[in-house]
């Protein structure tokens, strides 16, 4: 559920700025549900933003804890951040870290259709490298491809203090 950001002045709502963050982050921390405990796994991702619909794509081994958990409960939460720069100050409370981040929730699905997997892997590689790749059936059949349809997200930016900006 999107409760809104407490520090409203740090919220990023401009779609182009959100896309810039999605382009930069490269790593997502994917939160899954394991019984009554969270399980968080860092992964690379690709994304599409189509008419405001954000979709994330990841790939990995066909077996493992995250795969088992997604099959049991597809509800996920995620966080990604970039432009992380610690800064210091005179007093302890003046130290901090500038960043840009996105957090959100959605439903994960492990793709079965080979053509859909190929398309997802192309999106993944394009997001990660900026390059176009094509995939053969054999390469695609040995990996899991995860699609996350994001239902809600927020973006936030904490800039460097003015005196530290160049
Ligand atoms: C920066 C980064 C990028 C990554 N990108 C990808 C990616 O694109 N695709 C991908 O599949 N994986 C990626 N990984 C690895 C990923 O974090 C998991 O290790 C991997 O996906 C296996 O997850 P699993 O739940 O199937 O692991 P399993 O091997 O089933 O997990 C068993 C146990 O191993 C431990 N474990 C699992 N992963 C980690 C970890 N990363 N660090 C410490 N302990 C761990 C946990 O205690 C877990 O309960 C990345 C890791 C990092 C740090």
Structure tokens at 91: 């007093």
Neighbour tally for 46: CB within 10 Å: 22
**Pocket lining for ligand 1, CB < 6 angstroms:** 27, 41-44, 58-61, 64-67
Is the pLDDT score of 18 beyond 80?
A: yes
Per-residue model confidence (pLDDT) at position 8? 85
Nearest ligand 1 atom, CA 63: 26
Rounded CA-CA distance 16/22 in Å is 10
Is the pLDDT score of 94 beyond 70?
A: yes
**Dihedrals φ, ψ of 43, to 5°?**
-150, 155
Mean model confidence pLDDT for the chain: 95
Identify which of 100, 98, 73, 113 has the alpha carbon closest to the alpha carbon of residue 156.
100
Rounded CA-CA distance 84/98 in Å is 6
Percent of the chain with pLDDT over 90: 89
In this prediction the pTM is 0.95
Assign 161 a pLDDT band (cuts: 50, 70, 90): confident
Choosing from 33, 64, 127, 147 the residue with most ligand 1 atoms within 8 A of its CB, the one to mutate for a pocket test is 64
Is the pLDDT score of 166 beyond 70?
A: no
Per-residue model confidence (pLDDT) at position 42? 98
Mean pLDDT of 17-35: 98
């Amino acid at each position: 559920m999107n409760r809104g950001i407490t520090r409203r002045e740090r919220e990023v709502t401009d779609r182009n700025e959100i896309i810039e963050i999605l382009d930069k982050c490269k790593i997502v921390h994917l939160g899954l549900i394991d019984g009554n405990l969270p399980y968080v796994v860092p992964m690379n991702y690709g994304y599409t933003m189509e008419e405001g619909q954000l979709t994330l794509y990841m790939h990995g081994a066909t077996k493992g804890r995250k795969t088992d958990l997604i099959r049991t409960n597809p509800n996920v939460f995620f966080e990604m951040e970039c432009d992380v720069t610690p800064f210091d100050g005179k007093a302890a409370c003046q130290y901090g870290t500038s960043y840009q981040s996105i957090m959100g929730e959605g439903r994960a699905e492990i793709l079965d259709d080979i053509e859909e997997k190929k398309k997802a892997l192309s999106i993944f590689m394009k997001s990660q490298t900026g390059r176009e790749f094509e995939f053969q059936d054999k390469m695609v059949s040995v990996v899991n491809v995860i699609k996350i349809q994001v239902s809600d997200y927020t973006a936030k930016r904490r800039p460097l203090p003015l005196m530290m900006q160049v």
